[in-house]
Amino acid sequence: MSTFNYARAVNHAMIYEVGGHWSLRTLGTRSGINLDACGYVNDPDDTGGETKYGISKNNNPDLDIYRLNWVRTKERFFENYWSPGKCDEIENRIAVLHFDGCVNHGVGQASKFLQRAVGAEDDGVVGPQTIELVNKADPVGVCHDICDQREQFYYNIVADNPSQEKYIDGWIRRIDEMRAYTTNAYAVFSLKDLFNIIVPYLAGEIK
CATH number at residue 175: 1.20.141.10
Which residues of the chain, if any, have pLDDT below 70? 1-4, 185-207
Q: pLDDT value at position 1?
A: 41
How many distinct structural domains can be found in the chain? 1
Q: 168-200 pLDDT, tens per residue?
A: 999 999 999 999 988 876 554 445 545 655 666
CB-count exposure of residue 32 (10 Å: 0-12, 13-18, 19+): buried
The span from the CA of 112 to the CA of 120, in Å, is 9
Whether residue 205 is contained in a domain is answered as: no
Q: 85-103 pLDDT, tens per residue?
A: 999 999 888 999 999 999 9
Using CA of residue 30, residue 178, residue 128, residue 80, what is the dihedral sign? positive
Domain that holds residue 46: 3-196
Is 56 within 8 Å of 50 (Cβ atoms)? yes
Whether residue 95 is contained in a domain is answered as: yes
Residue-wise burial string across 154-182, b where 16 or more C-beta atoms lie within 10 A, e elsewhere: beebeeeeeebeebeeebeebbeebbebb
- Phi first, then psi: what are they for 98, rounded to 5°? -65, -40
Whether residue 201 is contained in a domain is answered as: no
The amino acid present at 175, given as its one-letter code, is I
Q: pLDDT value at position 189?
A: 43
User: pTM here?
Assistant: 0.81
Whether residue 143 is contained in a domain is answered as: yes
